[in-house]
Amino acid sequence: MDERDVYKAKEAMQSAMKKGPMRVAVIIGAILLFLLILRPWVQIGAGERGIVLNFGAVQKDALGEGLHFRVPIMQDIVPMDVKVQKSLTNAAASSSDLQEVSSEVALNYHIVPDKANIVYQSIGIQFKERIIDPAVQEVVKAVTAKYSAEELITKRPAVSEAMRANLAERLLAHNIAVDAFSIVGFSFSKIFMEAIESKQTAEQLALKAKRDLDRIKIEAEQKITAARAEAESLRLQRANISTDLIELRKIEANLKAIDKWNGILPQVTGGGAVPFIGVGETQKSSIKR
């Protein structure tokens, strides 16, 4: 082997050594790209469950929160939200007295976590449109028909509780739990609202008239009581008047007359009247006593 052949072999070895790391890097890059495309792992977020599908078949166990590995191509993982969710539904119904009632209800619910795979298998992810909204409509109509329009207002807590209990029973059969239920508002026809307003006005006027009547009765009773007290006072005064008191009052009157008399008797008396004699003696006898 001449020097030329040795030189070519040396260059070939150097070239092979340079290409070796490049090939390794290319192989590693291809593997990473393959893994990124196939994604043999899945992350389940907080408040979610992972529904495992083997070639489209729902498996018995759902994946919990965290990072999980799956078999590429064979397995698909569908995340299902099991957190508390809110639903607003408008429902039209009729009361027991045939009044049209429009209701807006708010519902808080969640998928039972251990049954998330069954919900996905039997209902899918459109459970609100398929199950919840129709159930709310039916429950509102059924409960509203048991109450009059006025009772729907005055007995609102009882109406709300009846709807909640009925709806919870219906949805639990589909593995959906009810957390809270509330009636946002009732609305009635314009004619009914005007009738309610007129009734309230009449009740207020009747209450005012009753209060005025009670006030008049109290004032009359006060006057009667005062008159009775005054009459009782006069009766007691009359009961205390005796014969001796009358004589005493007469003597006092005569004494006052003597004090005012100037000592001159009248010259002529009419009608055979006797002159005022004996008063002084009476006074003297009274003084001696």
To the question of pTM greater than 0.85 for the whole model, the response is no
Domain that holds residue 126: 85-185
Provide the β-strand partners of residue 71.
none
Residue 174 and residue 89 in one domain? yes
pLDDT computed for residue 287 by the predictor? 43
Q: What is the mean pLDDT of the chain?
A: 78
The CATH number given to whatever domain includes residue 150 is: 3.30.479.30
CB under 8 Å to 199, separation ≥6 — which residues? none
The H or E element containing residue 43 is: strand 41-44
pLDDT computed for residue 74 by the predictor? 87
pLDDT computed for residue 91 by the predictor? 87
Query: For a pLDDT cut of 70, what percent of the chain falls above it?
Result: 70
Provide the β-strand partners of residue 104.
90, 185
Residue 205 and residue 163 in one domain? no
Residue 284 inside a domain? The answer is no
The predicted-structure confidence for 197-253, as pLDDT tens digits, reads as follows 677 667 777 777 788 788 888 888 888 888 888 777 777 766 666 666 667 777 777
Burial state string for 239-271 with b = 16 or more CB within 10 A and e = fewer than 16 = eeeeeeeeeeeeeeebeeeeeeeeeeeeeeeee
Residue 63 and residue 12 in one domain? yes
> How many structural domains are present in the chain?
3
What confidence category does residue 11 fall into, taking pLDDT thresholds of 50, 70 and 90?
A: low
What confidence category does residue 32 fall into, taking pLDDT thresholds of 50, 70 and 90?
A: low
pLDDT computed for residue 12 by the predictor? 59
Contact 79, 129 (CB under 8 A): no
Residue 274 inside a domain? The answer is no
Residue 281 inside a domain? The answer is no
Secondary structure class of 177 (helix, strand, coil) = strand
Contact 81, 95 (CB under 8 A): no
pLDDT computed for residue 70 by the predictor? 85
What confidence category does residue 38 fall into, taking pLDDT thresholds of 50, 70 and 90?
A: low
pLDDT computed for residue 258 by the predictor? 72
Residue 267 inside a domain? The answer is no
Nearest to 132 by CA among 178, 75, 72: 178
Distance CA 101, CA 66 (A): 47
Residue 150 and residue 219 in one domain? no
Average pLDDT over residues 166-183: 93
Tokens of 71: 């078999």
Average pLDDT over residues 34-41: 69
- Among left, alpha and beta (phi > 0; psi -120 to 50; other), residue 245 is alpha
Distance CA 35, CA 77 (A): 16
